[in-house]
Amino acid sequence: MIDWNPVFARALTYDAFLEKHGSPSDRARWIAVFNQFQLTQAQRGVLSGFAREMNVLTLAGAWCGDCVGQCPLFEHFAHACGKINLRFLDRDAEADVASELRVCGGARVPVVVFLSEDFAECGRFGDRTLARYRELADRLRGAACSTGIATAESLTQVADDWLREFERIQLMLRVSPRLRQKHGD
């Protein structure tokens, strides 16, 4: 079992992660997706209801098309909600964490670990959302790691999938007897 507090402490912000681990072309792809996407009013409404601090640790690769198509959405969530503390680790630089967060037997990315304010693990989610898997199953062609190019519609669907998971964890934190006692609510 990993003690997530020191892992989170060494993790990087979105911009610092891209600066350290992304090539100029990697950064350009992440920026393009970030600029292409906008939160809907409904998504903003969900995020505005978050009441508990949540630490969100993302294992990613700046080179990875799946990360390009998903991680910029997390940054939008964090910008819209001050309760989300978002950090990134590079999969290839963090072998111990990557080993712990294997998906379907492989070192996949992105994988998100949701943590409480005091770094208790609340859940893990990755590497792709249901909307993304449906899209891939429909195509069943192309490289194993996509280019990261997505339509606005598919970005919104992927964001909705991820936001449901962020909200699920937020509600878990909100109704937690331990945290309710701690916060007197």
The answer to whether residues 67 and 21 touch, using CB atoms and an 8 Å cutoff, is no
Please, are residues 108 and 102 in contact by the beta-carbon 8 Å criterion? yes
Closest listed residue to residue 69, CA positions, set 17, 131, 140, 21: 131
144 — pLDDT class (breaks 50, 70, 90):
very low
Mean pLDDT of the chain: 93
Tell me which residue range forms the domain holding 129.
4-183
Whether 163 and 84 have beta carbons less than 8 Å apart is answered as no
- Parallel/antiparallel/unpaired status of strands 111-115 and 121-126: antiparallel
Number of domains in the chain: 1
Rounded CA-CA distance 117/109 in Å is: 24
> With bands split at pLDDT 50, 70 and 90, how would you rate the model's confidence at 152?
low
C-beta of residue 155 within 8 angstroms of C-beta of residue 73: yes
pLDDT tens for 67-113 read 999 999 999 999 999 999 999 999 999 999 999 999 999 999 999 99
Ranking 70-79, 103-112, 147-156, 163-172 by mean pLDDT, the lowest is 147-156
Please state, in angstroms and rounded to a whole number, the distance separating the CA atoms of residues 159 and 20.
25
Q: What is the pLDDT of residue 150?
A: 56
The H or E element that residue 3 is part of is none
CA–CA dist 59, 126 (Å, integer): 9
7: its two tokens: 């892992």
* Best CA proximity match to 21, nearest among 70, 76, 74, 59: 59
User: Residue 153: which CATH number?
Assistant: 3.40.30.10
Question: What pLDDT, in 10s, does the model give residues 117-138?
Answer: 999 999 999 999 998 888 888 8
Phi, psi torsion values for 75, nearest 5 degrees: -65, -40
pLDDT average, residue stretch 139-163: 72
Residue 96 CA: distances (Å) to CA of 1, 73, 91, 139, 151: 11, 26, 9, 34, 34
Return the number of other C-beta atoms located less than 10 Å from residue 54's C-beta. 20
